[in-house]
Structure 1
Amino acid sequence: MDFIGAYSWPNLRYLLQGFWITVQVAGLSIIFSFIIGTVLGTVRYTKTPFLSKTTAFLVDIIRNLPLLLIIFFIGMVLPQTGIRIPTFWAAVVGLSIFEGAMIAEIVRSGLVSVDKGQIEAARASGLSYMQTLRHVILPLALRRMSPPMVSQFISLIKDTSLAVIISLPELMRNVQILSGSSYSYVIPALVFASLLYFTLNYLLSIIAKRLEARQI
């Protein structure tokens, strides 16, 4: 193990460049998956049977597929059909679709957990179903589903490492390349990558714990 050589500034800069791409992929995927999950989860909760069942079917299919397969399909298979997507966006799209399906279930569960008495009171006050959903159900549900949603985002950050399969130069891909240049760099590079992942996920876990504390 050569920690001194592995942690020379050029090598650290190379790993940090990969980490920055990881952060960008994770950040965009969190935003898009939240939007997708909120829309799908809300549609599943609605009283329209066709839309609710169709959405449930799509969500169940996505949730039961390996994320690695989804990323590989978007990044490697689609280009063979003439649909070319940059590896960066292939990773973002794959993560957003998969995590969006996971978040959809969290959103649906959060909506279902809202006390029916509060819903009935809102309807009795003259609010329409959509107004009740927007102004009463969603705000109450968001408070309850924030902790599990943050936990899902933590999983998303760790899942960005799967983008190595499509050669996206994110953190783990750069660790792989750096380790290939010298076997003595393998453990030092992995240790440094672990610290970066831990720091990012720990910050999110603190947010999750504070959100949980606010629910008590």
Structure 2
Amino acid sequence: MNFAQALTLPNLRFIFDGLLVTVEVAVISIILSFIIGGILGVVRFLRIPFLSKIVGLVIDIIRNLPLLLIIFFTYFALPQIGIQFSIFWSAVIALTIFESAMISEIIRGGIEAVPKGQMEAGRSTGLNIIQTMYYIVLPQGIKLMVPPLVSQFVSLIRDTSLAVVISLPELTHNSKIIYAQYPSTVLVMFIIMTVCYFAICYSLSSFAKRFELNYQK
């Protein structure tokens, strides 16, 4: 285990660059998947004729596919039909597609856990469906959604490492390059990756817990 060789300034900069890419991909994917997943979850909950069934079918298909397959499809298959993205955006799009399907089910489940009488009460006051969802149902459902959403976001952060297969220069990719050049640094690189992933995921979990506690007050 060679700490001196692993922790040289160029190597640390290379690792930090990879960490930044990991964070960028994760943040963008989390924001996009939460927005898209939220819309899809509400559409499924409202049971809009024909549309909700189509959305449900697509979500079920995506949820039962390996994320790695979606990454390969986005980067290697789409260019065959004239749709091409950079490595960075291929990873973001693949993660967003996969996580949106997962998040939509969490949001749908959270909404359905709210007593049906709440929706009826809102409608009886003259609010339309969207207003009732926004002002009455979602504020109650969000309490139930926070724990599974955080768990899903943490999984998303870990899943960014799968983009190493398309050579996204994220944390795992850059660490792999370093220990491939210097085999004696393998253990050190794994320790560094472990600390980095733990720090990001733990920070997200801690923030979510504080948010949940403040929201419930």
The TM-score with structure 1 as length reference comes to 0.95
| Aligned position for 2:69 | 69
Measured against aligned partners, the alpha-carbon deviations of 1:112-138 in whole angstroms (never above 9, x if no partner) come to: 011222222212212222321222112
| Aligned position for 2:198 | 198
The one-letter code sitting in structure 2 at the alignment partner of 1:129 is I
Coordinate RMSD, CA, aligned: 1.5
Structure 2 CA distance for aligned equivalents of residues 73 and 116 of structure 1: 40
The TM-score with structure 2 as length reference comes to 0.94
Q: Within 5 Å, give how 1:44-123 maps onto structure 2.
A: 44-123=44-123
Deviation at 1:58, TM superposition (A): 0.6
Identity %: 52
Q: Within 5 Å, give how 1:17-28 maps onto structure 2.
A: 17-28=17-28
Structure 1 CA distance for aligned equivalents of residues 119 and 19 of structure 2: 45
Deviation at 1:183, TM superposition (A): 0.6
Greater alpha carbon shift after TM alignment, 203-212 vs 2-11 = 203-212
SS of structure 2 residue aligned to 1:114? coil
Give the unaligned 5+ runs of structure 1: none
Deviation at 1:215, TM superposition (A): 4.6
1:139 and 2:111 aligned: no
The one-letter code sitting in structure 2 at the alignment partner of 1:166 is I
SS of structure 2 residue aligned to 1:49? coil
Structure 1 CA distance for aligned equivalents of residues 194 and 128 of structure 2: 50
The answer to whether the 8 Å contact 2:143/2:212 transfers is no
The answer to whether the 8 Å contact 2:18/2:171 transfers is yes
Deviation at 1:70, TM superposition (A): 0.2
Runs of 4+ that moved beyond 6 A? none
Give the unaligned 5+ runs of structure 2: none
Measured against aligned partners, the alpha-carbon deviations of 1:120-175 in whole angstroms (never above 9, x if no partner) come to: 22122122223212221122222321221111101000000000010111111101
Greater alpha carbon shift after TM alignment, 204-213 vs 128-137 = 204-213
The one-letter code sitting in structure 2 at the alignment partner of 1:38 is G
